Structure 1
């Protein structure tokens, strides 16, 4: 198994959004954070030989990280066709042994059929920071509860009570969590600073399947 640092270096070539859309909260997941999440999933035996679904995959950071760790199949799902085109280019750069199926679709009504017992979801859903988009991550979790036996997801700091309560309502359980920080560059007009540090939390959930 390659080290977490080596994985982050491999993911460093993954390009971000050419024209990010604020309502969709399109931000590139930092390679270091993606590598941490994927490495943890690999250590827990949640990738190898399984189907991995990246909900709201954007330009493919988490999907491609998973594809480098020996899953049976990887699917990247996103509503916006533009980042999916970038994701296909990124796949060629990363050159993983497992190919990725890039699917255009709404993560809230995912056009996917999976065996939950053999499926892992990885995702960096919208935090719901935009007006009118509050609790956007709730819909992503609801889809995850239908698709997966285990999931790894990134949420805004302070989300543990909400995530744990939602999982419990759906027969799931938060088994692991850790805090994370990453630098968010200025990319929208409403951003006043050149960059700012975002505090986040990553959760592993086992869903009752």
Structure 2
């Protein structure tokens, strides 16, 4: 499945029925998800690896990764209703005309900033090296939720050899500094746009385009 076909498949993924503003539950657009998954695949970060979608929401990134030959995919979120939708989306896009994915997805109810994920000491370095995180964390735009993406990056730095994450525009200095502090390095960065429908009362227009930035980080 090429990137265009993946985007078409992901366009059938439904968004949040009742999004929670405190969780900053905005959907990941299918075109951006397909581009991010394609980049991760080209870099050799999906096939044969464990892929974790932290804060998966309704499953967009986990579902995309499942079509690129991973050993295992885990979608983790603290909202049980979102995970229910993610399971429905998995069934929806895995119709009879869809190419078979090489991995089933485990949907896990948990806080991504306190992820219940560990490896044995003897295999820690190997397991971490073979793990990729994909995530669209909350940007921390809500009062009381500032720097929410920092906690997601902290989890990624602990459990993954490489991560891909979407952040608010203007985050590059912060992301690079955080990665450097954790002995990681930003290897790729590009701008993106999130074209989002109106879902919350504080939004003033029917559609809003949010400028964003995407980063690939190699964790040492």
Give the deviation of 1:93 after TM superposition: 1.5
1:105-120 alignment, distance < 5 Å: 105-114=110-119, 115-120=127-132
Deviations 1:112-151 (A, max 9, x none): 1252111000000000000000000000000000110000
Q: Residue 99 of structure 1: which of 98, 104, 107 is its match?
A: 104
Q: Paired residue for 2:172?
A: 160
Give the deviation of 1:184 after TM superposition: 1.4
Structure 2 unaligned segments of length 5 or more: list them.
95-99, 120-126
1:126-205 alignment, distance < 5 Å: 126-205=138-217
State the secondary structure of the residue aligned to 1:120.
Answer: strand
Q: Distance in 2 between matches of 1:113 and 1:87?
A: 24
Give the deviation of 1:64 after TM superposition: 0.3
State whether structure 2 residue 60 is matched by structure 1 residue 61: yes
Q: Distance in 2 between matches of 1:12 and 1:38?
A: 14
Q: Paired residue for 1:51?
A: 50
Q: Distance in 2 between matches of 1:92 and 1:113?
A: 29
Q: Distance in 2 between matches of 1:72 and 1:169?
A: 30
The runs of at least 4 aligned residues of structure 1 exceeding 4 Å deviation read none
State the secondary structure of the residue aligned to 2:7.
Answer: helix
State the secondary structure of the residue aligned to 1:68.
Answer: helix
1:3-22 alignment, distance < 5 Å: 3-22=2-21
Give the deviation of 1:196 after TM superposition: 1.2
Give the deviation of 1:3 after TM superposition: 1.9
Q: Distance in 2 between matches of 1:18 and 1:182?
A: 18
Deviations 1:37-60 (A, max 9, x none): 000000000000000000000000
Q: Paired residue for 1:84?
A: 83
Q: Paired residue for 1:39?
A: 38
TM-score (norm 2): 0.93
State the secondary structure of the residue aligned to 1:189.
Answer: coil
Q: Pairwise CA RMSD of aligned residues? A: 0.8
TM-score (norm 1): 0.97
Deviations 1:160-195 (A, max 9, x none): 000000000001000000000121111011111111
